[in-house]
Amino acid sequence: MTDANATIVTKSLGRHFAGKWAVRNLDLCVSAGEIYGFLGQNGAGKTTTIRMLSGLLRPSEGTARITGLDHLTGGRAIKQRIGLVPDTPPIYDYLTGRQYVALVASLWHIGKKDRDERCDRLFHLLALDEAADELCKGYSHGMRKKVHLAAVLTTAPQVLLLDEPTTGLDPLSTKRLKDLLQEESARGTTVLFSTHMLETAEQICHRVGILANGCLRVEGSVAELRARFGHSSLENVFLDLTAAAAADQEPRGANDGPAAG
pLDDT of residue 260: 46
Q: Cβ(100)–Cβ(151) under 8 Å?
A: yes
Q: Which residues contact 14 (CB under 8 A, 6 or more apart)?
A: 21, 23, 24, 25, 26, 59, 60, 61, 62, 214
In this predicted structure, what is the pLDDT of residue 1? 52
The CATH classification number of 1-81+158-168+182-261 equals 3.40.50.300
**pLDDT for the residue numbered 232:** 84
Q: Which has the minimum average pLDDT: 107-111, 213-217, 231-235?
A: 231-235
150-208 residue pLDDT tens = 999 999 999 999 999 998 899 999 999 999 999 999 999 999 999 988 999 999 999 99
Region of residue 18 (phi > 0: left; psi between -120 and 50: alpha; otherwise: beta): left
More confident residue, 250 or 223: 223
Evaluate if residue 258 carries a pLDDT over 50: no
Strands 61-66 and 69-70: what pairing? Answer: antiparallel
Predicted pLDDT at 178: 94
pLDDT tens-digit map of 57-111: 999 999 999 999 988 788 788 889 999 999 999 899 999 999 999 999 999 999 9
Percent of the chain clearing pLDDT 70 (strictly above): 93
pLDDT, tens digit, 9 for 90 and up, residues 22-34: 999 999 999 999 9
Look at residue 42 in the predicted model and tell me its pLDDT: 86
Q: What is the pLDDT of residue 43?
A: 86
Task: Return all residues near 193 (Cβ < 8 A) that are at least 6 apart.
Answer: 35, 36, 37, 38, 160, 161, 162, 163, 164, 165, 181
Mean pLDDT of the chain: 89
Residue 134's pLDDT is: 96
Give the bridge partners for 36, in sequence order.
192, 207
Please give the full DSSP string across 140-171, using - where no structure is assigned.
-HHHHHHHHHHHHHHT--SEEEEESTTTT--H
Integer Cα distance of 258 and 261 in angstroms: 8
> Which position has the higher pLDDT, 125 or 248?
125
- As to burial, measured by CB atoms within 10 angstroms (0-12 exposed, 13-18 middle, 19+ buried), residue 156 is middle
Report the Cα–Cα distance between both ends of the chain, in Å, rounded: 28
Query: For position 2, what pLDDT does the model report?
Result: 56
- Report d(CA 110, CA 130) in Å as an integer: 24
- Does this model's pTM top 0.85? yes
Q: In what order do the strands lie in the sheet with 61-66?
A: 20-31, 6-17, 61-66, 69-70
pLDDT at 4: 63
Domain coordinates of the chain in residue numbers?
1-81+158-168+182-261, 90-156
Name the more confident of 3 and 127. 127
Residue 257 CA, distance from chain mean position:
20
Give the per-residue pLDDT at 197: 86
